Structure 1
Amino acid sequence: MSEQTHMINKEKEMKLDQVENVIERMDAEQKEDILESFDAFKQYLHKRVSLGESLGLNEEQLAKVAQKVADILAAKEEPRNREEKLLQELWNVADPEEKDTLASILVRFVKN
């Protein structure tokens, strides 16, 4: 791997961390607003995907961010509706490769 490629990858990893930190810093009221309805959740994810794209993240990197978000939600948040419950149940039974696929699907889903 060239030095330039290594630097670009390092910079993109830092951008991934920035997106993840947004979720970590969110207060309870903000989380409730996002999770109150599936449409609000989709809008939030769409905004995060758009932010990631503006930071130069590619599809694979966006899926990694989506995976981190899903891991946090599955571990720390109770689903507020049927759609979130289904996503949580799918996430909890998925193996790592399936989680990669689900995260990629979620990214494409909210982009449309």
Structure 2
Amino acid sequence: MDVKGKVEGELNKMDSEKKEDILKNFTSFKDYLSDKVNKGEKLGLSEEQLTKATEYVAGYLAKHEEPKNREQYVLQELWKVGDKEEQKALSSLLLKLVKAE
């Protein structure tokens, strides 16, 4: 299974209560993403694969979830107005943000 399939599978099987806990504030979202990035690195995923996975998560959230806070709202709005390259850049920056913590 490819990275996209794994990400989609993980997001689809997550119950709404768990999603709510993750998305309730930006810190919990970053913590969740950071944990997944760490697991991906331990599995040997490349930076490009991690960026792709972050891109899929961001795209999923932009399409399927209402922002729960100002930070998520800004990210969603940036995602919507960006083209594919800009979305990839935003995903890369989000990845750097969670890796820096």
| TM-score in terms of structure 2 length | 0.92
Post-superposition Cα deviations, 1:47-94, rounded to whole Å, max 9, x if no partner, equal 111111111111111010001001110000000000000000000000
Structure number, greater radius of gyration? 1
Matched, 1:42 2:34: no
Q: How does 1:54-65 map to 2 (within 5 A)?
A: 54-65=42-53
Alignment length (residue pairs) = 99
Secondary structure, aligned partner of 2:10: helix
Matched, 1:32 2:45: no
Q: Percent identity?
A: 52
Are the counterparts in 1 of residues 62 and 80 from structure 2 also a CA contact under 8 Å? yes
Q: Specify the code of the residue in structure 2 equivalent to 1:21.
A: G
Partner of 1:73: 61
Return 5+ residue gaps in structure 2 as ranges: none
CA RMSD of aligned residues (A): 1.1
